[in-house]
Structure 1
Amino acid sequence: MCLLENVLEWNGQRIVCEALSHTDPMNPLRAADRLGAATGVEYAAQAMAVHGALVAPSDAAPTQGYLTSVRGLSLHVDRLDDLAGPLRVTAERMSGDSRLILYQFHIHHGERCLIEGRASVVLDAQTL
């Protein structure tokens, strides 16, 4: 399942993506004919995964990441599917090493912040 449409910009610390899938009636995260705001965490997790792939050395073997916690989550809306136009998903690496990364994320619709929080990602959990 790929929820993101485009990578708008990225560097070693940050990625900004665009999503349009929130308006798709076939979005696999929809429940009870709506897409609740908490599903935005999955949008952010996908942006973090894309960021990890972009910053990984080109000769490195792919690693599997696991979202292990979400903290300070603020949902400023109840749902995402009733918003026309693209969402902007931003994830910024706050700290980390080769096994654990802490990201801060935001999801905006235009200038309005819809969702924000922090998430930790464990890479190669089987080696811990």
Structure 2
Amino acid sequence: MTTPQTLDRAGIARRIPHSGSMCLLDRLEAWDAEAIHCSTASHALPDNPLRTASGLMAPNLVEYAAQAMALHGGVLAPDDAEPSAGFLASARNVRFAVDRFDDVADALQVHAKRLSGDASQVLYEFAVKDAGGRALAEGRAVVVLNTPLPPATPPSTK
């Protein structure tokens, strides 16, 4: 994987549709047309928006991976492009090695690799690892791209 451009948290937030504390990634480490590698320590923040009374539960690692996928699309887009909306349509073969991850001491390493796709959907393989390379979560995800949501319809009063 090459590193044509690294980004800090502010640069990441300009390229994904997540802002404020919901932008979970701290640094774009490397990327190319096929894959992306990011890192973050946001899991250690007491005000992490995904934190519950029980801590940060493992299924939230999928959101970290999904943001890396969104960032991959963002860095592949033209520099002046607005972040486009994508929706996580499915997550398959997801395996978690931990129940929670707020107690992971070092920065999380978030990897996503594009396996296939077109203008309407993309299939990624992902892994979120600790600093020692142990996979905390891994799996595959389908992201549906640029699909506007239909307007809300008020419920029928009949």
TM-score over 0.5 for the alignment?
yes
1:31 is aligned to 2:52: yes
* 1:13 aligned residue: 34
Letter in 1 for 2:84: T
1:112 is aligned to 2:138: no
* 1:99 aligned residue: 120
- Structure 1 residues 59-115: Cα deviation after superposition (integer angstroms, max 9, x where no partner): 656421111110000011111101111010000000000111000000010221110
TM-score by length of structure 1 reads 0.93
Letter in 1 for 2:71: V
> Higher strand share goes to which structure?
1
Letter in 1 for 2:28: V
From 61, 68, 76, give the equivalent of 2:89. 68
Is the alpha carbon distance of 1:78 and 1:98 closer, same or farther for their aligned partners in structure 2, counting shifts above 3 Å? same
Structure 2: gaps spanning 5 or more residues: 1-21, 150-158
2:148 aligned counterpart, secondary structure? helix
**Cα RMSD between the aligned structures?**
1.5
Structure 1: gaps spanning 5 or more residues: none
Distance 1:88 1:58 in 2: 25
1:54 is aligned to 2:75: yes
Is the alpha carbon distance of 1:62 and 1:82 closer, same or farther for their aligned partners in structure 2, counting shifts above 3 Å? closer
Q: How many correspondences in the alignment?
A: 127
Distance 1:74 1:101 in 2: 20
Is the alpha carbon distance of 1:126 and 1:87 closer, same or farther for their aligned partners in structure 2, counting shifts above 3 Å? same
Structure of greater Rg: 2
Letter in 1 for 2:56: L
Q: How far did 1:57 drift?
A: 3.2
Distance 2:84 2:72 in 1: 13
Identity %: 50
Which contiguous aligned blocks of 4+ residues in structure 1 show a shift greater than 4 angstroms? 59-62
Distance 1:91 1:72 in 2: 15
From 127, 130, 144, give the equivalent of 1:122. 144
